[in-house]
Chains A and B, each alone.
Chain A
Amino acid sequence: MRATRPLALAAAGALTLTACGGGDSVDTGGGDGGGDNTLVAAVSAQPDQLDPHVTTAYASFQVLENVYDTLVVPDPEDLTMQPSLATEWETSEDDLEWRFTLRDDVTFHDGSEFDSADVVYSYNRIIDEELSNSFRFQNVESVEADGPDTVVIRLTQPTPNLLERIGSFKGMAILPENAAEDLDLTTEANGTGPFQLESSDASSTVLTAYEDYWDGAPSIDGVEFRYITEPAAALTALQNGEVQWTDNVPPQQIESLDGDDSVELETTASVDYWYMSMNYARPPFDNRDVRRAISFAIDREEVAEAAWFGAAEANQTAIPEDSFFYYDYAPFERDPEQARQLLAQAGVATPLTMGLMVTDEYPETVTAAQVIASQLAEVGITVEIETLDFATWLDRQGAGDYDAFYLGWLGNLDPAAFYQEQHQTDGPNNYQGYSNPQVDQLLLEGSTETDDEARKEIYDQAAQIIVDDVSYLYLYNPDVVQAWAPGLSGYQIRADKAINFENVELP
């Protein structure tokens, strides 16, 4: 690390120069403009806020991925956990104590030193304030510093997926001690990542390279995340050279872009899944037969094809095929006759009306809902599609004001992340109100089992019950689709959709 310091300083000098002289070229948006070494990335939405411990929006994490660090990070290739702010760790004999050794050459963007007190502060903030990720610490008894370079996490029971829990995404970011008091974290940031937050407004978020980054300063001067909602417009901007990177590619264009020289397009299987969820508090959707009827009435292949033009794999469980924890279970072949029988058996009079809440923030929900509506119409269910803006959508989800909704979960790595919070009784994301003691028991066992094979077996059983009960009606796993300017190097497309520009070099 030391050896790179002089180089980093030289680069810092260069940045000051370009930053002074190049202020205008950022505004004109001319991508290849003279000497401007800023990457412009077109993303579909504005971050709702920038507090990594509070936000749950993917748009926020696209930015935060480049600003903050975690103790461990997923390897871009296979998503196993690798050292980051922690260089190594060991567990006690009984698996109840984890000791993390921290890097000693890390500074925050404001220049202050990183040490164990920051880790303790960050984790305790999540636990004490019961922030959105506190469930990730549900087995954690205490987080303590043992000298400036060591953090000890004590557990109430063995937690095989602890590394995934603290490192899978930047929602577990390490903030400087007392950051919440010193800063307005919703709009300000002080991380240890490769880029520091420059500004964020209604049109874009701008990051500049952090020259003292512990892993060497990025080779570009900064990143501008520009919000372009319309996929077709984002693609045009990329083709014009206005932006150099986008993940907002219209699915219908994937095929035609494949051999196109004007952009470089890559796809990879993701770890996302999309599902429909029915509200147990609204009869007759509390009736298992009704939910199973609906599950039998849906042709998942057709929904996936309609929404993704071939870039999605139909799946009746959550975990995608490439994962070790994939469970090949598909009890619901489309069968309208059986669906009608089940509805009759449940004593439901058709036509039954079901509101289906979707959001234009994710256009595939609107497309998929129309296909679902036409499929359900065949068995006597009238689907009333409600297209809402995402804020209203979230409010109504939180308030339980819906018959059914359609959405996806993104970036899951561990089987617990796929099933636990969504299907455990009173789980933090169990909006539908599912409760099955057998599933609760299995999810509990799964979260403490340390042997991978045995764990898989437990989660297979849990998944089977969840699918049979139709707690979620799983539909498909889409691909990650991203495109960038030809010649852009050092960027790696990842299954967890984390977007990291640390090593990117512009053409």
Chain B
Amino acid sequence: MTGQPLPPPDAPVAGQGDAKGTSPGPTTLRPVRPRWRETLGLLARNPTAATATLVLIGIILMSVFDETLAPQGPNEIDVADRLQSPSWSHPFGTDDLGRDILSRVILGAGVSLRVGFLAVGIALVIGTLIGLLAGFYGRWVDDVLMRIMDMFFAFPAVLLAIAILAVRGPGSGNTALAIGIVYIPIFARVTRASVLGVREEVYVRASRSVGASDLRLLTRHVLPNAAPPIIVQTSISLAFAVLAEAALSFLGLGTQPPSPSWGLMLAEGRGFIDLAWWLAFFPGMAIFLTVLCFNLLGDGLRDVLDPKQRTLMAGGGR
């Protein structure tokens, strides 16, 4: 039976605030927000996560300053200069149309990350909202919303994305939308599970008992405290979104040529693999590094944001 708004009144009130550090003073039962400075500090002390973060910052900077960094335009064709192996003038070599692969890999970062962030942004906003409502209100709201989410979940992710692209037509904007839609149910489930735990917390019940509105409850108490798993999910989803963009572009449904998407470059390079390995190798490495770093960051965040782990880490570090 879901949707019992209040637990039995004799539930223990104490023991709630181990990592949440109930603030002193009689005015409020609201817990202190996750402490960001401490979180970042813990993350920095995790060498894997710290390295991953640095690499990601590097990739993001690269995509911001891509035009300045790239030695050539991504679509400067020079057929006479095609299939040149890596050299000083073309560190990553040239492709079958004589385009500089280093420039294309640099400019491809922007394409991949834009689609990744946009897709995860869509999934995050809609999925979290759905999960929040389903988890908080329970009953039929929960049933209706989550059954719809189950429907989405029933399709294999890539297949659903392909179907959406088949309807909407190929292109990077539609790719972001398709990946976003596919990831909505993931965020909805993660959020709902987290909210189910939080909404029975004593500070929520207390706030409700003094007449706080649902909106206030949701935004001030439930969402902030349900956030950690969502943040972890965001990082991991970014990895998958970058990968999905590459896969869809590889299949010809995502970013359209001549835009330098990594997945598309991989697809174009595969026919030349025994003739010119560098065509597929460098975009492949770029995908590999980006996805790996988002995953490692996700792992690091999970460790840091998990209250039990956090205490262990904080304690162990001192």
**Minimum C-beta distance from A173 to chain B (A):** 34
With contacts A232-B274, A253-B275, A306-B97 taken as known, whether A387 is within 8 angstroms of B252 at the C-beta atoms is yes
A388 interface residue, CB < 8 Å from B?
Answer: yes
The answer to whether B271 and A369 have CB atoms under 8 Å apart is no
A366 interface residue, CB < 8 Å from B?
Answer: yes
The answer to whether B270 and A232 have CB atoms under 8 Å apart is yes
Chain A to chain B contacts (Cβ below 8 Å), 19 pairs: A231-B271, A232-B270, A232-B271, A253-B275, A302-B77, A306-B82, A306-B97, A360-B252, A363-B271, A367-B96, A370-B77, A371-B79, A371-B97, A374-B75, A374-B76, A386-B256, A387-B170, A387-B257, A388-B170
**Minimum C-beta distance from B265 to chain A (A):** 12
B254-293 vs A, CB cutoff 8 Å, 1 = contact: the mask equals 0011100000000000111111000000000000000000
The answer to whether A374 and B258 have CB atoms under 8 Å apart is yes
Contact of B79 among A230, A256, A302, A366 (CB under 8 A): A302
**Minimum C-beta distance from B77 to chain A (A):** 4
B19-43 vs A, CB cutoff 8 Å, 1 = contact: the mask equals 0000000000000000000000000
Interface positions of B from 121 to 151, Cβ below 8 Å from A: none
The answer to whether B256 and A377 have CB atoms under 8 Å apart is no
The answer to whether B252 and A370 have CB atoms under 8 Å apart is no
**Minimum C-beta distance from A249 to chain B (A):** 11
A373 interface residue, CB < 8 Å from B?
Answer: yes
Contact of B256 among A230, A231, A375, A384 (CB under 8 A): A384
Interface positions of A from 112 to 148, Cβ below 8 Å from B: none
Q: Name 17 extra pairs, CB < 8 A, besides A252-B271, A306-B79, A388-B170.
A: A230-B270, A232-B270, A232-B271, A252-B83, A252-B275, A305-B79, A306-B97, A367-B97, A370-B75, A371-B97, A373-B75, A374-B258, A375-B77, A384-B256, A385-B256, A387-B170, A387-B257
With contacts A231-B271, A232-B274, A371-B97 taken as known, whether A306 is within 8 angstroms of B77 at the C-beta atoms is yes
CB-CB under 8 A from A366, the residues of chain B are 257
The answer to whether B170 and A386 have CB atoms under 8 Å apart is yes
Interface positions of A from 344 to 397, Cβ below 8 Å from B: 360, 363, 366-367, 369-371, 373-375, 377, 384-388
A250 interface residue, CB < 8 Å from B?
Answer: yes
CB-CB under 8 A from A253, the residues of chain B are 275
Cα–Cα distance between A415 and B259 once the two chains are bound (Å): 39
CB-CB under 8 A from B170, the residues of chain A are 386-388
Interface positions of A from 211 to 254, Cβ below 8 Å from B: 230-232, 250, 252-253
Cα–Cα distance between A253 and B272 once the two chains are bound (Å): 9
**Minimum C-beta distance from A362 to chain B (A):** 12
**Minimum C-beta distance from B309 to chain A (A):** 47
CB-CB under 8 A from B77, the residues of chain A are 302, 306, 370-371, 374-375
Q: How large is the interface on A (under 10, 10 to 19, 20 to 34, 35 or more residues)?
A: 20 to 34
CB-CB under 8 A from B96, the residues of chain A are 252, 306, 367
CB-CB under 8 A from A384, the residues of chain B are 256
Cα–Cα distance between A385 and B271 once the two chains are bound (Å): 20
CB-CB under 8 A from A363, the residues of chain B are 271
CB-CB under 8 A from A306, the residues of chain B are 77, 79, 82, 96-97
**Minimum C-beta distance from A336 to chain B (A):** 14
CB-CB under 8 A from B83, the residues of chain A are 252
Cα–Cα distance between A230 and B273 once the two chains are bound (Å): 12
The answer to whether B97 and A370 have CB atoms under 8 Å apart is yes
The answer to whether B274 and A373 have CB atoms under 8 Å apart is no
**Minimum C-beta distance from A25 to chain B (A):** 29
The answer to whether B271 and A250 have CB atoms under 8 Å apart is yes
The answer to whether B252 and A369 have CB atoms under 8 Å apart is no
* The 10 residue pairs across chains A and B that have the minimum distance between CB atoms: A374-B77, A370-B258, A306-B79, A360-B252, A387-B252, A232-B271, A305-B79, A302-B79, A385-B256, A385-B257
The answer to whether A230 and B97 have CB atoms under 8 Å apart is no
Interface positions of B from 227 to 252, Cβ below 8 Å from A: 252
Q: How large is the interface on B (under 10, 10 to 19, 20 to 34, 35 or more residues)?
A: 20 to 34
**Minimum C-beta distance from A238 to chain B (A):** 14
The answer to whether B258 and A385 have CB atoms under 8 Å apart is yes
CB-CB under 8 A from B97, the residues of chain A are 306, 367, 370-371
CB-CB under 8 A from B271, the residues of chain A are 230-232, 250, 252, 363
**Minimum C-beta distance from B217 to chain A (A):** 48
**Minimum C-beta distance from B252 to chain A (A):** 5
Cα–Cα distance between A386 and B169 once the two chains are bound (Å): 9
**Minimum C-beta distance from B283 to chain A (A):** 16
CB-CB under 8 A from A374, the residues of chain B are 75-77, 258
**Minimum C-beta distance from A286 to chain B (A):** 25
Interface centre among A363, A377, A384 (most CB of B within 10 A): A377
**Minimum C-beta distance from B275 to chain A (A):** 6
The answer to whether A387 and B256 have CB atoms under 8 Å apart is yes
Cα–Cα distance between A273 and B79 once the two chains are bound (Å): 21
CB-CB under 8 A from B273, the residues of chain A are 232
Interface positions of B from 53 to 100, Cβ below 8 Å from A: 75-77, 79, 82-83, 96-97
The answer to whether A256 and B275 have CB atoms under 8 Å apart is yes
Cα–Cα distance between A250 and B169 once the two chains are bound (Å): 28
Cα–Cα distance between A252 and B269 once the two chains are bound (Å): 12
Give the nearest-CB partner of B254 in chain A: A387
Give the nearest-CB partner of B171 in chain A: A386
CB-CB under 8 A from B272, the residues of chain A are 252
**Minimum C-beta distance from B278 to chain A (A):** 14
**Minimum C-beta distance from A394 to chain B (A):** 15
**Minimum C-beta distance from A44 to chain B (A):** 13
Interface positions of A from 177 to 233, Cβ below 8 Å from B: 230-232
CB-CB under 8 A from A385, the residues of chain B are 256-258
The answer to whether A377 and B75 have CB atoms under 8 Å apart is yes
**Minimum C-beta distance from B306 to chain A (A):** 44
CB-CB under 8 A from A250, the residues of chain B are 271
**Minimum C-beta distance from A356 to chain B (A):** 10
Cα–Cα distance between A388 and B76 once the two chains are bound (Å): 24
**Minimum C-beta distance from A301 to chain B (A):** 9
Cα–Cα distance between A230 and B274 once the two chains are bound (Å): 14
Cα–Cα distance between A385 and B170 once the two chains are bound (Å): 10
CB-CB under 8 A from B169, the residues of chain A are 386
Cα–Cα distance between A348 and B112 once the two chains are bound (Å): 34
Give the nearest-CB partner of A358 in chain B: B257
Interface positions of A from 271 to 307, Cβ below 8 Å from B: 302, 305-306
**Minimum C-beta distance from A136 to chain B (A):** 35
**Minimum C-beta distance from A409 to chain B (A):** 24
**Minimum C-beta distance from A240 to chain B (A):** 14
Cα–Cα distance between A371 and B75 once the two chains are bound (Å): 9
**Minimum C-beta distance from A359 to chain B (A):** 9
Cα–Cα distance between A232 and B96 once the two chains are bound (Å): 15
Cα–Cα distance between A385 and B252 once the two chains are bound (Å): 11
CB-CB under 8 A from A256, the residues of chain B are 275
CB-CB under 8 A from B82, the residues of chain A are 306
**Minimum C-beta distance from B247 to chain A (A):** 15
CB-CB under 8 A from B258, the residues of chain A are 370, 373-374, 385
Give the nearest-CB partner of A373 in chain B: B258
Give the nearest-CB partner of A303 in chain B: B79
Give the nearest-CB partner of A299 in chain B: B79
**Minimum C-beta distance from A401 to chain B (A):** 11
Cα–Cα distance between A370 and B44 once the two chains are bound (Å): 45
CB-CB under 8 A from A302, the residues of chain B are 77, 79
**Minimum C-beta distance from B268 to chain A (A):** 8
Cα–Cα distance between A155 and B257 once the two chains are bound (Å): 50
Cα–Cα distance between A373 and B99 once the two chains are bound (Å): 13
